Each structure stands twice: as structure tokens, then as C-alpha cells.
């Protein structure tokens, strides 16, 4: 079944495939936070190729984020589902619960960036759709969502250390991972040689919110 099919992603969610980060894969962090009820959906995924990565963003992340923002503002629910462009837009535009034209237009804008990436795959455009989605569904709403994409686990490690340094919190990362900065960098650089530490990294990520 093609990963560009709605049925592929419905099956993906129904089977609740094992999440986490793997070697030689694109890495994606997707979250939805309900600030009213202090509830969250927060998972890390690995995708073997760009088609799977874009398919997840297009059929799962975008619809789930916009549905959760639109309907969660009213009924306080987090919605994680698979939906195509036409159905998502129709639901956003015709719901008896709530219709928000700005939200619908933002969804169309984000989806158009995905279509642009499908024509010419560039990491810069991936950063663009992440920034657009995150800013459209930011923490100013009662329910907010976000996605972050990394080329591979090594790039993720570099960015993780960099982000903690920028926030002047590298000592906190060292404490959480129980190793000094140099060892953390070395760990991610040579992760393919240490399957035990890959498991430990996944345990670390699943226990922390890195927003």
C-alpha cells in the first residue's frame, strides 16, 4: 500500500506502530498539547524515506494539529487521526461546532508547502513547513501543536546540544543524560556502534518534552 494513501496512514495509526528514533532514518517529533486539561500527545518517529516522512506530515500531522486546535478549543479534546486534504478542509469549513476561516487558510498554506516539497525535496523547505505549522498552531491557543524534522540521528544530536547551549541549559542536558557535553556529542557521532545507547536515547526522549 502506498504511503501516499489515506488508508496507509489510517492503518499506521490503528496498528499504533512502534515509535522512536532509528539509524539511517529521517526523524520527526510531533506533539499536540492541551493546556486546559494538561494533556498531551508527544511522539518521536523514524521514516525510511522522504515519501513516508511527507506522507505522515500531510495525512496525519497537519489534519490532527488543525482538528485539535479547531475543536479542542471548544471540547478540550486532542485529535490524532488520518485525513486527506479535501476531507480536512471540508470538516474545518462546515463543522457545526466551530468554523475559523483563518485556521482553514493556514491549513491550506501549510499543505501548499508540502506540495512544493513533493516537487523538489529540500531540507530548507522542510524547515519552512515546520516553522509555518508551528507558528500557525502556537502556544497562544488553548491547544497547540508542533513538528520538528531532522535528517538523521547525528543531525538531531548536534541540534539537541546546540539548542540546550542557546538556552544556557547544557548542564541540565548533561544531568539528564548522565554524561558531559563532549561525551554526548561523541555518543551521537558514533551511535551506529552502540545499540544500547540508542535504546537509552529513545528512553530519554520518551520521558522528556523537548519543545
Q: Best-predicted range by mean pLDDT among 16-20, 61-65, 117-121?
A: 61-65
Rounded to an integer, what distance in angstroms lies between the CA atom of residue 164 and that of residue 20?
21
Do both 15 and 86 map to the same domain?
yes
Domain that holds residue 81: 6-151
Euclidean distance between the first and the last CA atom of the chain, given in angstroms as a whole number: 33
Together in a domain, 146 and 162: no
The predicted-structure confidence for 146-159, as pLDDT tens digits, reads as follows 999 999 988 888 88
Q: Is 1 part of any domain?
A: no
Say if residues 143 and 35 touch (Cβ distance below 8 Å): yes
Confidence of residue 37 (pLDDT cuts 50, 70, 90): confident
Least confident of 8-22, 46-60, 127-141: 8-22
Count of domains for the chain: 2
Same domain? 161 vs 147:
no
| 40 found inside a domain | yes
pLDDT for residue 91? 93
34 occurs within a structural domain? yes
Please state, in angstroms and rounded to a whole number, the distance separating the CA atoms of residues 190 and 47: 20
Using the 3D structure, point to which of 114, 131, 151 is the last residue of a domain: 151
Q: pTM for the complete prediction?
A: 0.90
* Pair (84, 179) in one structural domain: no
Residue 105, in any domain of the structure: yes
Q: Could you report the per-residue pLDDT of 51-88, keeping only the tens digit for each?
A: 999 999 999 999 999 999 998 877 778 999 999 999 99
CA distances for 162 relative to 26, 50, 94, 107, angstroms: 19, 25, 43, 30
Q: What is the DSSP letter of 5?
A: S
Instruction: Looking at the structure, tell me whether residues 39 and 105 fall in a common domain.
Output: yes
Are residue 168 and residue 87 in the same domain, yes or no? no
Amino acid at each position: 500500500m502506498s504511503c501516499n494513501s489515506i488508508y496507509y496512514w489510517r492503518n499506521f495509526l490503528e496498528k499504533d506502530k512502534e515509535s522512536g528514533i532509528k539509524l539511517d532514518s529521517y526523524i520527526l517529533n510531533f506533539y499536540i498539547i492541551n493546556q486546559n486539561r494538561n494533556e498531551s500527545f508527544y511522539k518521536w518517529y523514524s521514516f525510511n524515506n522522504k515519501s513516508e516522512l511527507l506522507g505522515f506530515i500531510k495525512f496525519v500531522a497537519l489534519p490532527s494539529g488543525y482538528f485539535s486546535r479547531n475543536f479542542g478549543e471548544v471540547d478540550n479534546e486532542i485529535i490524532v487521526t488520518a485525513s486527506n486534504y479535501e476531507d480536512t478542509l471540508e470538516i474545518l469549513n462546515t463543522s457545526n461546532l466551530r468554523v475559523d476561516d483563518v485556521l482553514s487558510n493556514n491549513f491550506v498554506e501549510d499543505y501548499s508547502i508540502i506540495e512544493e516539497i513533493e516537487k523538489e525535496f529540500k531540507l530548507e523547505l522542510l524547515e519552512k513547513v515546520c516553522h509555518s505549522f508551528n507558528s500557525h498552531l502556537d502556544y497562544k491557543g488553548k491547544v497547540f501543536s508542533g513538528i520538528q524534522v531532522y535528517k538523521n540521528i547525528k543531525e538531531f544530536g548536534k541540534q539537541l546540544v546546540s539548542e540546550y547551549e542557546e538556552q544556557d541549559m547544557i548542564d541540565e542536558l548533561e544531568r539528564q543524560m548522565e554524561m558531559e557535553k563532549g561525551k554526548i556529542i561523541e555518543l551521537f557521532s558514533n551511535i551506529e556502534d552502540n545499540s544500547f545507547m540508542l535504546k537509552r536515547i529513545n528512553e530519554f526522549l520518551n520521558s522528556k518534552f523537548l519543545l
